[in-house]
Amino acid sequence: MNAESGFEIKPVYHRGDVAPDVDERLGEPGAYPYTRGVYPTMYTRRPWTMRQYAGFGTAVESNARYHQLLAAGTMGLSVAFDLPTQMGYDSDDPIAHGEVGKVGVAIDSIDDMRELFAGIPLDKVSTSMTINAPGSLLLLLYQLVAEEQGVPGAALTGTIQNDILKEYIARGTYIFPPKPSLRLVADTFAYCRAEIPKWNTISISGYHMAEAGATPAQEIAFTLANGIEYVRAAIAAGLAVDDFAPRLSFFFVARTTLLEEIAKFRAARRMWARIMRDEFGAEDPKSLMLRFHTQTAGVQLTAQQPEVNLVRVAIQALGAVAGGTQSLHTNAYDEALALPTRKSARLALRTQQVLAYESGLVDTVDPFAGSYVIEAMTDEVEAAATALIERVFSYGSSVDAIEQGFQKQEIESSAYRISQQIDSGERVVVGVNRFAGDEEEKYEPLRVDPAIEADQAAKLTRLRAERDSAAVEAALADLRKAAEGTENVLPPMRAALRLRATVGEVCTTLRGVWGVYRPVEHF
């Protein structure tokens, strides 16, 4: 039997399968090379942050869901944005038609952001925002709303995904070409160091590549290669590595292949520590720590017999926790069908709480350390991922490899291979190609009201009538000037957003300077 990453899984493992220098490869928890975890005590004093990814329809509806999740014991919020927001378009833009509020919440201006976080104390809640190309805009809106609550930037904690490179590889919600996109990322690093020092400025993501079909080795290889590219961009912009690297974070998937996933997380930590120390000369221990959020694998959830997904999610969550994640989102069992219902979202959270408070997993650090199979698999995943990183940089850089279609082609090949294995029955998916039910059970999904689009458009009409249009135009002109030069674009962007410039207007201004990305097709 072969692992998803390609190496052979042996029926039995012995001491000889483990590297002779295993103690050196392991180290101690909270110490280089961080194989056993980034903190000495890990969960023995407090569990991981339990997040639930939520956001749909209007800001008011999403706000109500956030209050429900916080009341149920969620420790951090993870915000989903609709597709127009992710692509930098306002809800009344013709290109947004039919997508407003569909896969997340629609945020067009500071007015929507106020509604989204109404009654939520932003100095006490950690917020993760899944937003990339316009990530800096949403962070600035969040900061402005916090200031209105009397919460300074220094008190804010959370993460913006802000990982544009994986969008070119696997997801597609990019706006600008790679070079200005990397500049925007570096500007965000510098801005947050001065203004929002506790904020995680980027969540370098393998999750979406995994959802597109990447193997565990490909997931961490392409993610760490992108991480190297971001570090290089920040250094080229004049930032010292230890000034920004401690705020880098990562985002991975947790699949049902439990042992390989545990090995993957441990290998990724060890690789990043070595990269930051040896390649970039980082000296701050926090610069060497690969801190990551995990989400259970949405792509492995099935519409057939959806209740079985409860078991899958529990196994996936177990792998993330045993692998040492810093925060975790568990998918709801019905997400293959529609947006989660209130009940299914609560059950997903309860899965994490059972692991934290009933399983005993929090009683000891890295409980799988020393296992013959885990240590051997960790080395195998690391070797496969290291070889892939070398192939990426044989093109010159991660961006060069992206422009040649390398990562995308590798992931698509893996996805095709897995699909063939499922179709042939070689890879079992319970309820799909084995143990299928005789009849479909009735399910009533949560649906988004199509009237949301008209409501958002009406709000935008009122906003444009009420605001000081001349002041907004002047602020956007200042932003355009900054984008044409070399100064940090976030301060003039913040000034425009404070005056109620919309997300679409800000992104259109930057499109006028930087252009848009048109991928080259490779056949």
Tokens of 324: 């040492």
Radius of gyration of the chain (CA): 23
Q: Is the pLDDT of residue 53 over 80?
A: no
- What DSSP line would sit under 345-393, residue for residue? HHHHHHHHHHHHHTSSGGGSS-TTTT-HHHHHHHHHHHHHHHHHHHHHH
What's the CA gap between 511 and 480, in Å, rounded?
10
Evaluate whether 5 touches 213 at the Cβ level (below 8 Å).
no
Burial class (CB in 10 A: 0-12, 13-18, 19+), 478: middle
Pinpoint the alpha helices (H) of 196-326: 207-211, 216-236, 241-244, 258-274, 285-288, 309-322
Burial class (CB in 10 A: 0-12, 13-18, 19+), 409: exposed
For the chain, percent of residues with pLDDT exceeding 70: 96
Query: Side chain identity at 321, as an amino acid letter?
Result: V
Which pLDDT belongs to residue 521? 63
> Which residue is it, tokens 């994640």?
325
Which pLDDT belongs to residue 445? 60
Which pLDDT belongs to residue 41? 96
pLDDT (tens digit per residue) in 459-504: 999 999 999 999 999 999 999 999 999 999 999 999 999 999 999 9
pLDDT (tens digit per residue) in 158-168: 999 999 999 99
Which pLDDT belongs to residue 431? 83
Mean pLDDT, range 150-161, rounded to an integer:
95
Which pLDDT belongs to residue 56? 64
pLDDT (tens digit per residue) in 93-139: 999 999 999 888 999 999 999 999 999 999 999 998 989 999 999 99
Mean pLDDT, range 166-180, rounded to an integer:
93
449 Cβ partners below 8 Å, 6+ apart? Answer: 57, 101
pLDDT (tens digit per residue) in 350-387: 999 999 999 999 999 999 999 999 999 999 999 999 99
Which pLDDT belongs to residue 353? 96
**Element of type H or E holding 327:** strand 327-329
Determine the length of the chain: 523
Tokens of 128: 């993760």
For 487, what's the count of Cα atoms within 13 Å in the CB-facing half-sphere? 10
Evaluate whether 231 touches 241 at the Cβ level (below 8 Å).
yes
Which pLDDT belongs to residue 523? 45
Phi/psi-derived region of residue 126, left when phi > 0, alpha when psi is between -120 and 50, beta in every other case: beta
